[in-house]
Structure 1
Amino acid sequence: IPSFMGQNWVRIILKSGSSSFCVSDKQLAVLVMLVTHLYYNDTRAFLSPQPGTLNQAIKDVEALVNKEADGSVHGMWLMAEVDHWNNEKERLVLITDNTLLVFKYDFMMFQCEQIQKISLNFIDRISYGTFSFPKRSLLQREGEGVRIFWDRLREPSFSSRWNPFATDFPFITFTYHPVRNISDTFAALCDIQNFREKLKDAAQKAHTMKPVPGKANGVLVLNQQIHIDAYVGAMSFLGNQNKLGYSMARGNIGF
């Protein structure tokens, strides 16, 4: 039971079992699950209510940009990465002159935990569309996303596809962050359409300025479904429902 409900609220529910309004154990469990679901899907529990959190995060990640190697920053976005097992993970994404930088940032502890760098002149394809799964898959995902490819000739190995911790995929997938509807500021920060356009332009320019020998120059932009080749995902279902891939307040702790 999440701590935000409080002991008094729980006592009221339990006392109702001995009154004329009888609540069975099963009904109580369903009610608690419903309230928990509503709490963890309330975007107010994310980073937005904390004063200065976003500004501090922007300063922290911009300080990690290597001006000589990466160049100047052209834009920053707050999105959710979707991995090959349909797990959501909160990410800050920067586009610079030469690099696409993906940051795993802890908004509760104010620190960057991981950086992934993708050279823009290696990006060869950008896909945008709704998500799809195999016919017999038990998984589903609403909304739209964008997938960036940087090695069209390399397919993920069989072992990587079935390894939930594999990170050697030649692509990365993003979808909208849950806070995008809170305000105009967050709507702009989470705008995937704008991100796609900026990335296309930056990658095209990088291909022209720094062509890769033996690699076809240019970026192919496609409007097509983004396929996630996963069938069963109890871990992703529980993780996504409880927003475990996001930094957020969870009672007296946050992660």
Structure 2
Amino acid sequence: NVCFAWGFFFQAVDMWEDENNQEFETEELEEKHGGDIPEPRLATDVKDPSASASSASYPRPHVKQFMARKFFVTRPGAFDQAIEDINTHVTENAGETADSFWLLTEVDHWNNEKERIVVITDSALLVCKYDFIMLSCLQVQRIPLSHVARICIGQFTFPERSLSKREGEGLRIHWDNLKEPSFLSRWNPWSTEVPYVTFMEHPVKGSSQRFTDICQMSTFSAQLVQTIQKAQRKNPPPGNPMGVMVLNQPLLIDTYVGLMSFICNSNKLGYAIARGSFGF
């Protein structure tokens, strides 16, 4: 009952924010056009082939920009500060060299979305939980590249009778072929003993050229495979002389009801996001 109450509460807040955003955009357009809001033009209405595509597109691009600003990672200097903090952690604690930083969404084994900074170093993959509100690194999971056994790329799938749903493509990294998740690990939403991690693209991809680059899954996977192959040539993986395998196959998320993930994902609880102000 508490989960349902909180879920409806956050949904009501999001609906209230969307209505306010629409009112704000309407007032802005009224001021700009002297009280008359022009009707949106469709692509078929454009007769001049040299006309700008942006003038004929609908919905308006600035609406997407406004929604992207709700994520604290898009605030000026936030991601740069995260890079600086994580670089310090990597250098002082592991003595490694960070090759690249990526902003991705982790999808855990219970289908919950979690905002993550992923770092590819010369010898490991770092999955960082970073607080973009307080600008502090909360947790770092280190996956040695020499232990990565296979990388799977494909569409998300669920069991036949599952009520959970997720569209799109993801990437799953397995680092121990000899270890399978135990029964308790599969049914524990907070388990850290699952020997794989799954990523998809972050919602702010496309908000700017920079975020398009650091959220691009295809570029991330290409660099990750190249770095793993280079690391495994220097340090062959134990019990896997063939090295890392790259497979194209569906990514199964073994959940059936998905009530917890529905509440979490529909309200973006796994992201550092502005949720409105309460006061008078």
Indicate the TM-score class for this superposition, using the shorter chain for normalisation: 0.7 to 0.9
The answer to whether 1:164 aligns with 2:192 is: no
CA pair 183-165 structure 1, distance change in 2 beyond 3 A: same
Give 1:205 deviation, angstroms.
1.1
SS class of match (1:164) = coil
4+ residue segments displaced more than 6 Å: none
Counterparts of 1:147-226 in structure 2, within 5 Å, are 147-226=172-251
CA pair 177-213 structure 1, distance change in 2 beyond 3 A: closer
TM-score, normalised via structure 2 length:
0.74
Q: What is the CA RMSD across the aligned residues, in angstroms?
A: 2.3
The answer to whether 1:44 aligns with 2:69 is: yes
Residue number in structure 2 paired with 1:65 = 90
Indicate conservation of the 8 Å contact 1:130/1:225, yes or no.
yes
Counterparts of 1:122-137 in structure 2, within 5 Å, are 122-137=147-162
Identity %: 49
Give 1:112 deviation, angstroms.
0.6
Q: What amino acid maps onto 1:143 in structure 2?
A: G
Residue number in structure 2 paired with 1:56 = 81
The answer to whether 1:145 aligns with 2:173 is: no
Give 1:102 deviation, angstroms.
0.6
Counterparts of 1:62-101 in structure 2, within 5 Å, are 62-66=87-91, 69=94, 71-101=96-126
Residue number in structure 2 paired with 1:117 = 142
Q: Deviations over 1:99-136 (max 9, x none)?
A: 10010000011001100000000001001111000000
Residue number in structure 1 paired with 2:37 = none
Indicate conservation of the 8 Å contact 2:69/2:75, yes or no.
no
Q: What amino acid maps onto 2:227 in structure 1?
A: A
| Unaligned segments of structure 2, at least 5 residues | 1-11, 24-62
Give 1:216 deviation, angstroms.
2.6
Indicate conservation of the 8 Å contact 1:69/1:98, yes or no.
no
Give 1:187 deviation, angstroms.
0.7
CA pair 48-166 structure 1, distance change in 2 beyond 3 A: closer
Indicate conservation of the 8 Å contact 1:207/1:217, yes or no.
no
Indicate conservation of the 8 Å contact 1:74/1:94, yes or no.
yes
TM-score, normalised via structure 1 length:
0.81
Q: What amino acid maps onto 1:127 in structure 2?
A: C
Give 1:246 deviation, angstroms.
0.3
SS class of match (1:237) = helix
Residue number in structure 1 paired with 2:267 = 242
Indicate conservation of the 8 Å contact 2:98/2:119, yes or no.
yes
Give 1:174 deviation, angstroms.
0.3
Q: What amino acid maps onto 1:76 in structure 2?
A: F
Residue number in structure 1 paired with 2:131 = 106
The number of equivalent residue pairs is: 222
